[in-house]
């Protein structure tokens, strides 16, 4: 049910977008196949508005047909609503109808969900009253608009589907008289109607406005409708008389004209009354005629006849043929007074202008379905220009929306405008829309398309003109980047004063490039140092990853990085490459003869009391060192093994063979040749960069030679074992105290 009171019906049929060549295979019989496919899925399902989904899809298809949509586009509306009822909608639709239909259905479905969430956020904010943050409402609406723009840019047919679907939803509420969600009516009036206006689809634009206004201001709507109805008969009679007179007189002048009465649109009448503070009778287009002629010269000839036979109001004349509106609308508008002094608005246009005025750029969507053959004059050769024209109108719609909200002065409108105003949308040479922050340049554009394109960017054309790379871009401009085959960004791009980059994302990519270059130099320096050390030590056969693993690194590059940054001493690598002679195992200890004495100094400075001619060795399990308390254990034919008194292995051996223990004591080796003993140190720490270096430096400063390192990191905790040489274990306690104070070290103890 339409809300417009169409007093005088149009006899001009809508242009039908027909295929100029052979139909694509997946489009043959697409409408019937799509409805048959969707019917079992949708018959018993309803939308959140309460409308049956299949009935809604039927109505949307009818609306699309009325404005010239092809059968393929009508078929798409059934597939869109079927998506929610399929497990893998893209795959299923692509298999049955082709990739083209699948992509359109999925893109439209995603957009519907975004808009539904945006309305829900607005409604919840409205119900919450003054406590609801207006930014939440603004953010939801802004996100919806942006998603709409980007979805439209990817597939322009989405616009037609969404406009037709929204119109049907409003018709459903008008027919059922169910309460309309305020957010839906407001969005229709503030977003969808301006979109239809920008695209020149007047037939949908007027009805969206009237229905939305009817739901938002029902009392005002009824009042104006009542005023229109009061003198309907008298007005229709006078307009019909004027119409017949014009047809006859213009024919006498040799001008074949079709003269029609124009429908009355309540919302436009109210806007004029409010905008110009007029009374109802002062609104000129309450009585209106439209003259459609074959050619542009006929338009001006008919205008001359109208001005000769009626009294023109000079301030109300507009020549939109010489100066078309931004959306391509062309027509002559004039207001004249009849003999009774009553005003009447007259529009004069050609048939082509009339078709565009009623259906706008709907024909531009045809190229998407026609392939190289083309639809309705939109051939492959003009596809780019057609798409550019439509996309520019979409970008202008976004600017219109922002400006309208700003002009409202309301807090929420101002916030919405500010949010929308922080982005711009520019076009690639292939007519794809790219979203950028306000103030972005061609360099930002290049990085948003592809990182490699940004690195190699050296020049740019904006709308065909060469511009400096730091020139701020504007909405709707077409940007083409000039590149080199190889190369990287300039450091000047990171200077904020030069204005090359406005995007944080692009700036991060430039920094990452320079960081990668610096890292490459660091790795090269570290690799060179390590490889030279391996050559010097005659260890070139060793695998670098194995060496890194021995030193506690995940990869060779990690080792090269810390060596290249001078954060890891090559001395640590030398220790791994040249380990000390291991203490002999019990079955490999050579026989050492002792001098004949009751108290002799054995191997390692250990004094064996009361036993002659025995060999001695320090146990590997506990690594004793002076002045540890020690106990000797006589092995079977292998001499005496010396353990620390608290050694767990020694306790186990005593339990089995306690009679084989003997007393031992440390001997003395005064002077600079005093013996050193290897001891193991266990360290637990929070893993961090430079940890191994810091611990190694402590041992180096304390003149304790590190002869072995083992590390393992588990869930951020580093477990490290250092083998160091000490002359006496008492001094080791003080050094471990220093290690314990290092950042991240949790414990440092002797094993």
> Given the structure tokens 């990182």, which residue do they identify?
451
Same domain? For 265 and 300 the reply is: yes
pLDDT at residue 457, rounded to an integer:
92
What tokens were used for 461? 């054309």
What tokens were used for 708? 């072995």
What tokens were used for 543? 């695998």
Task: Among 644, 665, 686, identify where a domain stops.
Answer: 665
How many residues are listed for the chain in this entry? 751
Same domain? For 519 and 488 the reply is: no
Instruction: Specify if 13 maps to a domain.
Output: no
User: 485: domain range?
Assistant: 422-502
577-606: pLDDT as tens digits = 765 544 444 444 433 333 333 344 444 555
Same domain? For 275 and 338 the reply is: yes
Same domain? For 530 and 492 the reply is: no
Report d(CA 301, CA 295) in Å as an integer.
10
β-partners of residue 724 are 679, 706
pLDDT at residue 585, rounded to an integer:
47
Show the beta-strand stretches assigned E in 454-597: 457-462, 465-467, 479-483
Instruction: Specify if 333 maps to a domain.
Output: yes
Instruction: Specify if 251 maps to a domain.
Output: yes
Q: What phi and psi values does residue 476 have, to the nearest 5 degrees?
A: 85, -5
Domain count for the chain, please give it: 5
Return the DSSP state at 191: I
Instruction: Specify if 300 maps to a domain.
Output: yes
Report d(CA 247, CA 289) in Å as an integer.
11
Question: Residue by residue, what is the 3-state secondary structure of 77-134?
Answer: HHHHHHHHHCCCHHHHHHHHHCHHHHHHHHHHHHHHHHHHHHHHHHHHHHHCHHHCCH
Report d(CA 604, CA 609) in Å as an integer.
14
Q: What phi and psi values does residue 595 have, to the nearest 5 degrees?
A: -60, 150
Same domain? For 661 and 700 the reply is: no
Helix, coil or strand: residue 481: strand
Same domain? For 436 and 338 the reply is: no
- Please name which of 176, 178, 189 lies closest in space to residue 217, comparing C-alpha atoms: 189
Instruction: Specify if 136 maps to a domain.
Output: no
> Given the structure tokens 């019937």, which residue do they identify?
32
For 263-275, b/e burial (b = at least 16 CB within 10 A) is bbbbbbbbebbee
pLDDT at residue 584, rounded to an integer:
46
Helices and strands in the chain, H and E counts: 27, 21
Same domain? For 236 and 351 the reply is: yes
Would you say 569 and 577 are in contact if contact means Cβ atoms under 8 Å apart?
A: no
Task: Give residue 657's Cα distance to chain centre.
Answer: 74
Share of the chain above pLDDT 90, in %: 8
Instruction: Specify if 351 maps to a domain.
Output: yes
pLDDT at residue 59, rounded to an integer:
93
Sort residue 12 into left (φ over 0), alpha (ψ -120 to 50) or beta.
beta
Residue segments in the chain with a per-residue pLDDT below the cut of 50: 1-25, 130-137, 284, 363-382, 405-420, 581-603, 609-610, 613
Same domain? For 287 and 334 the reply is: yes
Return the DSSP state at 188: I
Alpha carbon distance, N-terminus to C-terminus of the chain: 89
- Please name which of 595, 572, 656, 588 lies closest in space to residue 620, comparing C-alpha atoms: 588
Indicate the pairing of strand 343-350 with strand 288-293.
parallel
358-407: pLDDT as tens digits = 666 554 444 344 333 332 333 334 455 555 666 666 666 766 665 554 44
> Residue 349 maps to which CATH number?
3.30.460.10
> Residue 458 maps to which CATH number?
3.10.20.30
Same domain? For 629 and 689 the reply is: no
Return the DSSP state at 638: S
Task: Among 665, 691, 717, identify where a domain stops.
Answer: 665
Instruction: Specify if 399 maps to a domain.
Output: no
Same domain? For 245 and 339 the reply is: yes
Q: What phi and psi values does residue 658 have, to the nearest 5 degrees?
A: -70, -20
Same domain? For 532 and 613 the reply is: no
Would you say 155 and 179 are in contact if contact means Cβ atoms under 8 Å apart?
A: no
Helix, coil or strand: residue 332: strand
Report d(CA 147, CA 109) in Å as an integer.
12
Report d(CA 192, CA 199) in Å as an integer.
11
Task: Among 335, 359, 383, identify where a domain stops.
Answer: 359
Would you say 424 and 436 are in contact if contact means Cβ atoms under 8 Å apart?
A: yes
Same domain? For 722 and 640 the reply is: no
Instruction: Specify if 31 maps to a domain.
Output: no
Would you say 688 and 744 are in contact if contact means Cβ atoms under 8 Å apart?
A: yes
457-516: pLDDT as tens digits = 999 998 888 999 999 998 778 889 998 888 889 888 988 888 899 888 888 999 888 888
> Given the structure tokens 């191994």, which residue do they identify?
692
């Amino acid at each position: 049910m339409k809300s417009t009171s169409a007093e005088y019906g149009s006899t001009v049929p809508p242009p039908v977008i027909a295929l100029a060549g052979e139909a694509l295979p997946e489009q043959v019989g697409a409408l019937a196949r799509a409805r048959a496919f969707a019917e079992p899925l949708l018959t018993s399902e309803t939308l959140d508005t309460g409308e049956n989904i299949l009935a809604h899809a039927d109505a949307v298809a009818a609306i699309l047909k009325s404005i010239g949509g092809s059968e393929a586009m009508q078929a798409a509306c059934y597939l869109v609503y079927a998506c929610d009822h399929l497990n893998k909608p893209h795959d299923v639709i692509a298999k049955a109808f082709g990739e083209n239909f699948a992509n359109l259905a999925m893109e439209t479905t995603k957009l519907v969900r975004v808009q539904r969430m945006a309305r829900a956020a607005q409604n919840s904010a409205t119900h919450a009253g003054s406590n609801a943050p207006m930014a939440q409402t603004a953010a939801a609406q802004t996100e919806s608009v942006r998603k709409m723009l980007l979805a439209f840019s990817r597939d322009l047919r989405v616009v037609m589907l969404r406009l037709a679907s929204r119109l049907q939803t409003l018709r459903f509420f008008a027919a059922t008289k169910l309460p309309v969600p305020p957010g839906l009516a407001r969005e229709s009036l503030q977003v969808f109607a301006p979109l239809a206006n920008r695209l020149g689809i007047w037939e949908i634009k007027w009805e969206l406005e009237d229905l939305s206004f009817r739901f938002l201001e029902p009392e005002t709507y009824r009042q104006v409708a009542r005023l229109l109805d009061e003198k309907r008969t008298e007005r229709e009679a006078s307009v019909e008389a004027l119409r017949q007179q014009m047809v006859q007189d213009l024919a006498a002048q040799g001008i074949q004209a079709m003269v029609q009465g124009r429908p009355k649109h309540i919302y436009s009448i109210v806007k004029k009354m409010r905008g110009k503070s007029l009374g109802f009778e002062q609104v000129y287009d309450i009585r209106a005629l439209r003259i459609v002629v074959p050619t542009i010269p006929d338009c001006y000839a008919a205008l001359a006849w109208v001005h000769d036979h009626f009294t023109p109001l000079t301030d109300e004349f507009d020549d939109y043929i010489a100066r078309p509106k931004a959306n391509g609308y062309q027509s002559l508008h004039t207001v004249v007074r009849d003999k009774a002094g009553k005003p009447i608005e007259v529009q004069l246009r050609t048939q082509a202008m009339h078709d565009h005025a009623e259906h706008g750029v709907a024909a531009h969507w045809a190229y998407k379905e026609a392939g190289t053959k083309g639809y309705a004059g939109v051939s492959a050769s003009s596809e780019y220009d057609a798409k550019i024209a439509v996309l520019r109108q979409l970008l202008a719609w976004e600017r219109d929306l922002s400006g309208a909200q700003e002009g409202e002065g309301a807090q929420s409108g101002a916030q919405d405008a500010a949010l929308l105003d922080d982005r711009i949308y520019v076009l690639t040479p292939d007519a794809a829309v790219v979203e950028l922050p306000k103030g972005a340049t061609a360099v930002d554009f290049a990085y948003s398309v592809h990182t490699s394109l940004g690195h190699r960017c050296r020049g740019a054309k904006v709308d065909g003109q060469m511009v400096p790379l730091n020139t701020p871009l504007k909405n709707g401009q077409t940007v083409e980047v000039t590149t080199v085959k190889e190369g990287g960004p300039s450091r000047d791009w990171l200077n904020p004063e030069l204005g090359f980059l406005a995007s944080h994302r692009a700036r991060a990519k430039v920094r990452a490039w320079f960081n990668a270059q610096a890292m490459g130099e660091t790795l090269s320096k570290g690799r060179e140092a390590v490889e030279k050390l391996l050559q010097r030590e005659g260890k070139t056969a060793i695998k670098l990853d194995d060496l890194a693993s021995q030193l506690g690194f995940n990869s060779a590059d990690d080792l090269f990085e810390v060596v290249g940054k001078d954060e890891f001493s090559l001395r640590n690598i030398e220790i791994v490459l040249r380990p000390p002679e291991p203490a002999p195992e019990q079955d490999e200890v050579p026989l050492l003869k002792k001098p004949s004495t009751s108290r002799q100094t054995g191997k390692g400075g250990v004094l064996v009391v009361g036993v002659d001619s025995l060999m001695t060795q320090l146990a590997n399990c506990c690594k004793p060192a002076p002045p540890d308390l020690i106990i000797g254990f006589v092995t079977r034919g292998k001499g005496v093994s010396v353990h620390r008194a608290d050694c767990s292995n020694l306790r186990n051996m005593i339990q089995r063979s306690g009679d084989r223990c003997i007393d031992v004591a440390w001997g003395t080796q005064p002077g600079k040749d005093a013996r050193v003993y290897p001891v193991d140190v266990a360290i637990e720490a929070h893993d961090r960069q430079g940890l191994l270096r810091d611990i190694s430096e402590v041992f180096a400063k304390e003149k304790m030679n590190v002869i072995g390192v083992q590390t393992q990191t588990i869930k951020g905790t580093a477990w490290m074992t250092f083998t160091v040489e000490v002359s006496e274990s008492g001094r080791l306690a003080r050094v471990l105290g220093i290690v314990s104070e290092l950042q991240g070290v949790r414990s440092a103890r002797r094993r």
